[in-house]
């Protein structure tokens, strides 16, 4: 049994509404259902969403502050003033800065740019940068993607005789800065119809106000990068700008974009929002995380292909370095957390701090730990000399991290952000009180249900619904991103037809799923370790995205698995594994993310003489077989650790008797999964289900050699040479003969009874017992996985 990592929800489908919209727009029922799931039930509304149009652009002068900003910039141009573009170091800030460079070049302005260094300076407008700007002769500062909270800094700029125009999209504070003009759609008294612009979107609206119809169409390419990278909603005006940007990008004239697509492994002709999010944006962001964002700005604005290729290559290398840094910190942070919680529960908010954690990537680390534990996460880098901690937070839907930080503001020097993400700085002396305050706030706000991630699917479908035509039609809903995600489908009751791994080191999983006469290939990136747990024949539910796989001119639908579940108990067949301990540990670790929401418990059963050998089993309770009790705990805490539902039962050794097996199954009667890791005895060493012929043959062999008392070990050796039966089998058969009075045993000697009383074999309890043990051993040693699974589960039902 594999529990899904997330809860899956899909809207209740209205078959009539789906049918009516499909008929009205001449589209497939699949596409119709997707439109309805996204709230578009009216024909014209659905057509507008799919096809778009210029009517989605709003008048830039509806933005508060635009009527003041445009004349001031035009005056600066007329008077030859020197302008400073002040940006930010993330991909949105880089895109915004690049767009302003194109604008000011187009206008023939005199200008400089300034982007603070993430590690050395931090986010926002800085007074020392304004001092530098004054020395350069700057009289007008235009901020992009920053500035809405810079009250003291803008007041300082005013004292220096510089006007400041703020273009930003972050949440405005109660006290606004004394800027010459504030342009932010989120200002309370701003009536702009669309509030979801990225920083680059606000900069684009400024360019639109200044240039009107002369605005170059291909500047939407820059807008698309920043909007997607900053996870802005791909609805309304954003959707129009990103769609147009992607169309333009497929024939881009910007050397920087062409080079960046190339190093990202993206084909220009098919570039989409996902390529930007996972290919271009990380490389742009890497520049600001480990180096200086100015390199990325130069890449986007250069007009020389040679320079663009060099810079793109440099960003690619920086991004690879960033990945290594992130991986190292994730390992260190995870180890710190595991040590912190021991055998206890994960805290309601995870806060980890250490020296040497690059502040430029701690946000990524926080995101990765959030994905793993589904808790709000704060990762802090501690400066070894000053003791200052700088960090980033990422949160789950149930907790507004900005509000949580506000409740602990007395412990921090600075903080800011959004409900889902934030940054902060504090001294290490305040760290303990800060952690206590955050955990206290989280305990008040969060309930156990908040720790269960929920994924919203678009529909629950059959494999027959997921056609090539349906996959092609879905492109009409693109671009996909925030608030317009790639459609996700739930498929229940499919069967795994084929399982294999793919990629370097078998990192990825490839399944062929079948449902009735329909089958489809499915890929799950990063889930190659599940291959051994999903053999052919496994019934499976999946949450997946539908795509088109093109290879050698062939096109066919393909599923990209996002999550999966197996609803039945599974038996993992690793009988005879060379390193059973290693396999047990691996299965335990692989199953951990798929173990549901309760405590994760694993147990292993073995012989008493194996305890010392199995000490390497970590996080697994040990039980031993016992002749009297069936099984016993091998340690004082075993009963406590296996109380309640056991997620995984590992049989390191086959039970000796059916009673021992039943005792195991009764002790862990609700185990989700059973791993068979016992050694496989060679054929001759196995017990056979006894028959009358076996005993008839043995009787003939034993009669002549035991006319006089003979040591039992000599009898067994002689009989084993004369027959194909093992010593174990022969010993148990002698028990039957003794019980029936055919032989006598005395002081390890055996003698034949010449005229025994006639008795049926079935009267012997030892005969019945031998048959039961032999049947059990036959299942454990010789049966197929499915036969053994059915037999064990039927026995489990009998003892539960």
Measured CA distances, 202 to 294, 300, 361, 378 (Å): 20, 18, 26, 30
End-to-end CA distance of the chain: 18
What does the pLDDT read at residue 4?
Answer: 92
CATH number attached to the domain at 345-439: 3.10.310.30
Task: Calculate the CA 138 to chain-centre distance.
Answer: 47
d(CA 428, CA 73): 45
In the block, tokens 């510089």 appear at 162
DSSP 386-446: T-EEEEEEE--TT--HHHHHHHTGGG-SEEEE-SSEEEEEEEGGGHHHHHHHHHHHHHHH-
Beta carbons of 377 and 333 less than 8 angstroms apart: no
What tens digit of pLDDT does each residue of 643-676 get?
A: 556 889 999 999 988 999 988 888 887 888 999 9
Residue 300 structure tokens: 């986007």
Residue limits of CATH 3.10.310.30 in the chain: 345-439
Pairing of strands 621-626, 743-746: unpaired
Q: Which two tokens mark 111? A: 């200008």
Q: How far apart are CA 331 and CA 372, in angstroms?
A: 12
- Taking the C-alpha atoms of residue 594 and residue 563, their distance in angstroms, rounded to an integer, is 10
Looking at the domain that runs over 684-781, which CATH code has it been given?
1.10.10
- How far is it, in rounded angstroms, from Cα 56 to Cα 197? 13
**Residues 499, 510: Cα–Cα separation, whole Å:** 6
pLDDT at site 640: 47
CA distances 279 to 192, 285, 510, Å, are: 32, 11, 23
Q: Which residues are registered as beta bridge partners of 711?
A: 749
Per residue, what are the HEC states of 536-599?
CCCEEEEEEEEEEEEECCEEEEEEEEEEEEECCCEEEECCCCCCHHHHHHHHHHHHHHHCCCCC
CA–CA distance, 88 with 92 (Å, rounded to integer):
8
Q: Report whether 325 contacts 344 (CB < 8 A).
A: no
Which among 180, 164, 12, 7 has a CA at the least distance from the CA of 84?
164
Coil vs helix vs strand at 191? coil
Q: Report the largest interatomic distance among the alpha carbons of the chain, rounded to a whole angstrom.
A: 130
CATH 2.40.50.140 domain extents, the chain? 7-22+457-565
Question: How is residue 542 written in tokens?
Answer: 């999946």
Strands 630-633 and 377-382: unpaired
DSSP structure class, residue 670: T
Overall residue count recorded for the chain in this entry: 800
C-alpha to C-alpha distance for 30 and 476, rounded to whole angstroms: 12
Domain with CATH 1.10.10 in the chain: 684-781
DSSP of 3-60? --SSEEE-PPP-HHHHHHHHHHHT--HHHHHHHHHTT--SHHHHHHHHH--GGGPPPG
Q: Where in the chain is the domain with CATH 3.40.50?
A: 570-680
CA dist., res. 490 & res. 456, Å (int): 10
Order of strands across the sheet with 82-86?
110-114, 82-86, 138-144, 163-167, 181-183
Domain with CATH 3.90.1640.30 in the chain: 64-317
Q: Which residues of the chain have pLDDT under 70?
A: 53-55, 343, 598, 613-615, 635-645, 799-800
pLDDT score recorded for residue 343: 64
Residue with tokens 């206890």, as numbered in its chain:
344
3-state SS, residue 621: strand
Residues with Cβ within 8 Å of residue 732, at least 6 apart in sequence: 687, 766, 769, 770, 773
CATH level 3 topology of 64-317: inorganic pyrophosphatase (n-terminal core) (3.90.1640)
- Classified as helix, coil or strand, 602 is strand
> In the numeric block, which tokens belong to residue 544?
């997946």
Parallel, antiparallel or unpaired: strands 163-167 and 138-144: parallel
Q: How far apart are CA 24 and CA 22, in angstroms?
A: 6
Q: What are phi and psi of 678, to 5 degrees?
A: -75, 155
Cis peptide, bond prior to residue 577, ω within 30 of zero: no
Residue with the two structure tokens 């302003």: 100
Q: What is the CATH number of domain 570-680?
A: 3.40.50
CA 93 – CA 146 distance, rounded (Å): 8
Q: Which of 271, 298, 144 is nearest to 206 (CA)?
A: 144
Q: Looking at residue 615, what is its pLDDT?
A: 63
Assign domain 7-22+457-565 one CATH number from 2.40.50.140, 1.10.150.120, 3.40.50.2300, 2.60.120.1030.
2.40.50.140
């Amino acid at each position: 049994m594999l529990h899904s990592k997330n809860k899956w929800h899909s809207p209740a489908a209205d078959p009539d509404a789906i049918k009516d919209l499909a008929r009205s727009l001449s589209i497939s029922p699949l596409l119709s259902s997707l439109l309805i799931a996204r709230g578009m039930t009216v024909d014209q509304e659905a057509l507008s969403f799919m096809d778009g149009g210029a009517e989605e652009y709003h008048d830039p002068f509806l933005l508060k502050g635009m009527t003041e900003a445009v004349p001031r910039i035009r005056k600066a141009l007329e008077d030859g003033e020197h302008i400073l573009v002040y940006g930010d170091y993330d991909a949105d800030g880089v895109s915004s800065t690049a767009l302003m460079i194109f604008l000011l070049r187009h206008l023939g302005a005199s200008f400089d740019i300034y982007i603070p260094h993430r590690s050395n300076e931090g986010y926002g407008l800085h007074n020392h940068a304004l001092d530098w700007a004054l020395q350069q002769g700057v009289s007008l500062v235009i901020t992009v993607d920053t500035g809405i909270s810079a009250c003291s800094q803008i007041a300082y700029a005013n004292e220096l005789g510089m006007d400041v125009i703020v273009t930003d999209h972050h949440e405005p504070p109660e006290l606004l800065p004394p800027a010459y003009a504030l342009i932010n759609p989120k200002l309370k008294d701003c009536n702009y119809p669309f509030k979801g612009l990225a920083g680059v979107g606000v900069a684009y609206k400024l360019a639109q106000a200044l240039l009107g119809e002369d605005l170059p169409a291909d500047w939407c390419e820059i807008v698309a990068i920043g909007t997607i990278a900053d996870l802005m909603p791909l609805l309304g005006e954003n959707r129009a700008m990103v769609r147009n940007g992607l169309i333009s990008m497929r024939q881009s004239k910007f050397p920087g974009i062409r080079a960046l697509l190339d190093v990202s492994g993206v084909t220009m002709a098919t570039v989409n929002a996902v390529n930007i999010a996972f290919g271009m944006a990380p490389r742009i962001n890497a520049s600001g995380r480990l180096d200086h964002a100015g390199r990325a700005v130069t890449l986007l604005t250069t007009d020389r292909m040679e320079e663009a290729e060099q810079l793109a290559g440099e960003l690619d290398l920086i991004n690879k370095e960033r990945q290594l840094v992130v991986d190292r910190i994730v390992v260190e942070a995870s180890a710190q957390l595991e040590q912190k919680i021991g055998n206890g529960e994960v805290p309601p908010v995870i806060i980890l701090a250490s020296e040497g954690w690059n502040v430029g990537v701690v946000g990524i680390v926080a995101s990765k730990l959030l994905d793993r534990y589904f808790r709000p996460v704060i990762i802090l880098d501690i400066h070894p000399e000053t003791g200052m901690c700088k960090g980033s937070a990422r949160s789950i839907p149930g907790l507004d991290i900005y509000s949580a930080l506000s409740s602990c503001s007395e412990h921090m020097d600075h903080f800011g952000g959004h409900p889902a993400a934030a940054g902060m700085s504090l001294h290490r002396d305040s760290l303990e009180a800060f952690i206590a305050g955050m955990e206290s706030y989280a305990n008040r706000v969060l309930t156990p249900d908040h720790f269960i991630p929920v994924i919203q699917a678009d529909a629950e479908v059959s494999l027959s619904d997921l056609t090539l035509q349906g996959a092609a039609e879905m492109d009409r809903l693109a671009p996909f991103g925030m608030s317009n995600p790639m459609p996700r489908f739930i498929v229940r009751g499919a069967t795994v037809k084929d399982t294999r791994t793919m990629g370097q080191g078998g990192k990825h999983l490839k399944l062929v799923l079948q449902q009735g006469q329909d089958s489809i290939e499915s890929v799950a990136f990063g889930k190659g370790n599940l291959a051994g747990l999903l053999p052919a024949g496994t019934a499976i539910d999946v949450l997946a995205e539908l795509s088109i796989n093109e290879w050698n001119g062939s096109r066919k639908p393909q599923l990209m698995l996002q999550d999966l579940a197996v609803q039945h108990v599974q038996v993992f067949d690793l009988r005879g594994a060379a390193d059973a301990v290693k396999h047990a540990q691996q299965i335990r670790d692989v199953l951990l993310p798929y173990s549901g929401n309760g405590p994760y418990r694993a147990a292993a059963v073995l012989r008493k003489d194996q305890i010392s050998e199995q000490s390497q089993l970590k996080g697994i309770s040990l039980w031993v077989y016992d002749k009297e009790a069936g099984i016993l705990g091998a340690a004082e805490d075993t009963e406590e650790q296996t109380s309640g539902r056991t997620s995984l039962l590992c049989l390191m050794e086959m039970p000796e008797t059916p009673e021992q097996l039943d005792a195991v199954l009764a002790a862990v009667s609700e185990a989700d999964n059973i791993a068979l890791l016992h050694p496989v005895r060679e054929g001759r060493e196995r017990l056979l289900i006894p028959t009358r012929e076996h005993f008839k043959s043995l009787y003939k062999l034993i009669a002549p050699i035991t006319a006089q008392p003979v040591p039992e070990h000599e009898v067994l050796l002689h009989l084993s040479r004369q027959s194909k039966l093992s010593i174990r089998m022969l010993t148990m058969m002698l028990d039957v003969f003794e019980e029936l009075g055919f032989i006598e045993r005395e002081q390890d000697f055996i003698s034949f009874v010449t005229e025994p009383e006639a008795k049926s074999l079935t009267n012997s309890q030892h005969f019945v017992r031998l048959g039961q043990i032999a049947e059990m051993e036959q299942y454990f040693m010789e049966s197929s996985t499915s036969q053994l699974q059915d037999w064990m589960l039927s026995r489990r039902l009998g003892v539960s």
